[in-house]
Structure 1
Amino acid sequence: MTPAAWSRPEDVAETLRRKWTSGRYLAASAGGHPFEPIAVPLKGPTAADTLHHYEQALAWAQSWAPNLHPQLRLQTRSIGGRNGLPSHTVPARAWIDTRPALWALLGVTDQVDRFHTLHEHTALHDPGLARWMADHPMKVLLHPAVWHHLVRTVCWIRDHSAEQVYLREIDVPGVDTKFVETHKAILADLLDHALPEDRINASVPKNDLASRYGFRTKPIYIRLRYLGVSPLPFSELTVRAKELADWSPGVRTVFVLENEITYLSLPPVPDAIAILGSGYAAALLRHLPWLDDVDLYYWGDIDTHGFAILDQVRGRFPHTTSLLMDRATLLAHESHWGQEKTQAHGDLTHLTPEEAHLDHDLRTGTYHPHLRLEQERIAITAVRKALTRHRE
């Protein structure tokens, strides 16, 4: 074995530090488990090495002098003494006999003291959270300065019904929405532990605190514009989806579009409204059951995402007709073709044969790789003709 392979004092510390980082040592301490001395085997010179690398072997042995490592107890062994080789006593195993010695060796005494202070304080107010701390001490040490705020926040949420409030309404001194957003990962861990199962929507990701834990969420708004004579003193409205669900705008035809300027520039159409989908048409329209009773048209970009949205809309409203999402429109606007950065994936089961064929050609690059035609690039004359055909 070459001198480079012999164990160094810093190797012992590094071996123990990896286990410290896992949290096992501090978890055992927090759980009240008795300390079991830790042994770290050492790789050192053989009897033959002391002949060929005597100076290095001597320096290695001196580097383990007890006065240099007061936290360690060294167990030795004898090498040599046979076949004419001299006998030597060398370190064979390093022992850590107490937790204070371990903390001192790793230089974490201050962190340990801070954790135990936080743990004891939390145990007085919420034993359940203290048990979680004992199991996840390293997560606690990532947030020592704000730990008391985190505990108070979790306790407030646990003790209040979240159904009627927004996250903004958490009433804890020093806690606001910025605090909640900044610490949402650790808050989610704590809330998963502190709340009963019926207050956790496990199907929602942890980064969506409001939806996962039953807080009020930002309302979904639907923007619509009358294309004919409006029965109201307004030509355009933005309404909460839940409220619009119970109110019909009183028209025969509804056009759903994704692009705002196209939505605004649609020419007049009697007895019709336009709804701005903004890329989320399927999510928006599912709130409006009265769409079952109107002529519903969807107009999106001619690309894979446009057809994916059309497929979703038609999955809820089978009578949906696509508008200007056909091969003839695509080929008539070749000079306005663009490129779709990333294509949509997944099987589409609600397209007509013609739509499905065009979607396939877009995916396979029949005309051009990642081809797309954005709806705002379609000539306004083509739009007027399509709307005229609709009225016929």
Structure 2
Amino acid sequence: MTSHQSPNWTTPQAVLARLHKRWNTGAYLTQLADEADWEPIEIPLRGPKAGDITRHYDDVLAWAESWAPSAHRHLRIEYRRLGGRLAGVNDVPDRVWIDDREDLWRLLGVTPTVARYQTLLTSTRESLPALIPWMIAHPMQVLQRETDWPRLQATIRWITDYRGAAVYLRELDVPGVDTKFIERHRAILTTLLEHCLAEDRIDAEAVRTDFAARFRFLRKPAYLRFRLLGGEPLAGFSELTVRADEFTAPPPGITTVYVIENETTYLAFPDQPHSIVIQGGGYAVTQLSALPWLHDVRLVYWGDLDTHGFAILDRLRRAFPHTQSILMNRSTLLEHRGQWVKEDTPTHQPLSTLTPDEADAYDSLVDGEFGHNVRLEQERVRFHLLEDALNELR
């Protein structure tokens, strides 16, 4: 037989590969768990034609012997008549059948795996029956997590049973389960909890990747760091870090709030009457939206002179339309040409809240008017320009 003909005849290995491929989809285990009636599996075989007996007799014989029943105890082989006047009539394999599940498990070598899957189903059916439909539909995902399944199940049971006030994930009390385990298995726990919990136990507005928020656990609070710029210390402190949700009013006598990007500039910020300075820290300025009292004070932002600096200003101004900026203009940028660096990943989004001067500088940065990805960091701006800007504000 020429080499190109061999692949046309179905080998035992090809049949086994086909069955393994279907096993890997989980379909056989799903049928088992669903208690579906077993339907014998029929697989037609591609084999030699009549003319092959005379032309390639040895190859036909070898192929037929590869399907000897003694070598395939878990298959039933059905034959067809093949031949004619020249070669005589012969029986050759035509199709194979798998008549029961146990034969399929033995053929695939998965009998112990099936038993373990059934054990997991049994234990879950007793303690968390709501999970059973998912386990039936996704048996291979269950087996992939076989080692962790008891802890996953216990975690879900604890959460579904808990009825007290909101707690932190750290307070979830299951043997062998800690916050690292939950983070490592966050995706599967999210999927399973969505099958088990009532709708009112799930925050549909929270993204699925935020496990704590989605399942109504307490989250790490946002903190804000601020300095009093002169005047009387607050309870003896000139600088404090406070929880954003508890920062419900300005310190006594404060009428102006400065929001600054850079920590060193924040620490060196000049004294100003009736003022505090908050370290904004990039897009962390969004935390300021939790402080409604900022609507009632003068709010001044100063950030890096790059595209993201303007995007942060735009975001702050969307929450507080009265926000002013200082030193975020073309003249400040050009005065420090020797201090420019590269902005790694500039943004090009439209920013609708910028003033004409701000928009002029932003558009020039986006368009590359000054060069490719130009950036002037806040700490590189000469300090006397800050003092001048503050004097102008006063």
TM-score of the two chains, using structure 2 as the length reference? 0.93
Aligned to 1:139: 141
Contact 1:47 1:79 in 2 (8 A): yes
* TM-aligned CA deviation for residue 249 of structure 1: 5.0
Shift in CA distance, 320/61, structure 1 to aligned 2, threshold 3 Å: same
Aligned to 1:303: 306
Q: Whole-Å Cα distance in 1 between the matches of residues 11 and 366 of structure 2?
A: 60
- Is the counterpart of residue 44 in structure 1 residue 47 in structure 2? yes
Shift in CA distance, 271/96, structure 1 to aligned 2, threshold 3 Å: same
Q: Secondary structure at the match of 2:217?
A: coil
Q: 2:21 aligns with which of 18, 30, 46?
A: 18
Aligned to 2:218: 216
Q: Whole-Å Cα distance in 2 between the matches of residues 255 and 172 of structure 1?
A: 46
Q: Whole-Å Cα distance in 2 between the matches of residues 371 and 146 of structure 1?
A: 50
Shift in CA distance, 86/226, structure 1 to aligned 2, threshold 3 Å: farther
Shift in CA distance, 85/301, structure 1 to aligned 2, threshold 3 Å: farther
Q: Whole-Å Cα distance in 2 between the matches of residues 52 and 297 of structure 1?
A: 93
Which 10-residue stretch deviates more, 119-128 or 158-167? 158-167
* TM-align CA RMSD: 1.9
* TM-aligned CA deviation for residue 259 of structure 1: 1.8
Q: Secondary structure at the match of 2:290?
A: coil
Q: 2:322 aligns with which of 312, 319, 324?
A: 319
Q: 2:377 aligns with which of 350, 374, 379?
A: 374
Q: Whole-Å Cα distance in 2 between the matches of residues 282 and 235 of structure 1?
A: 21
* TM-aligned CA deviation for residue 86 of structure 1: 4.7
Q: Whole-Å Cα distance in 2 between the matches of residues 143 and 5 of structure 1?
A: 39
Q: Whole-Å Cα distance in 2 between the matches of residues 205 and 60 of structure 1?
A: 57
Contact 2:53 2:87 in 1 (8 A): no
Please list every run of 5 or more consecutive structure 2 residues that lacks an aligned counterpart in the other structure.
Answer: none
CA deviation profile, 1:151-202 (whole Å, cap 9, x unmatched): 1211111111375201111112222112212221211111000001111123
Please list every run of 5 or more consecutive structure 1 residues that lacks an aligned counterpart in the other structure.
Answer: none
- Is the counterpart of residue 258 in structure 1 residue 264 in structure 2? no
* TM-aligned CA deviation for residue 20 of structure 1: 1.7
Give 1:122-201 correspondences, 5 Å limit. 122-161=124-163, 163-201=165-203
CA deviation profile, 1:77-101 (whole Å, cap 9, x unmatched): 233327x465443322222221122
Q: Whole-Å Cα distance in 1 between the matches of residues 242 and 164 of structure 2?
A: 24
- Is the counterpart of residue 337 in structure 1 residue 340 in structure 2? yes
CA deviation profile, 1:342-365 (whole Å, cap 9, x unmatched): 122533221112322322222222
Contact 2:348 2:366 in 1 (8 A): no
- The residue type equivalent to 1:334 in the other structure is R
Q: Secondary structure at the match of 1:360?
A: helix
Shift in CA distance, 11/314, structure 1 to aligned 2, threshold 3 Å: same
Aligned to 1:269: 272
Shift in CA distance, 287/59, structure 1 to aligned 2, threshold 3 Å: same
Q: Secondary structure at the match of 1:273?
A: strand
- Is the counterpart of residue 93 in structure 1 residue 92 in structure 2? no
Give 1:237-252 correspondences, 5 Å limit. 237-248=240-251, 250-252=253-255
**Which ranges of 4 or more aligned residues in structure 1 deviate by more than 6 Å?**
none
Q: Whole-Å Cα distance in 1 between the matches of residues 54 and 83 of structure 2?
A: 10
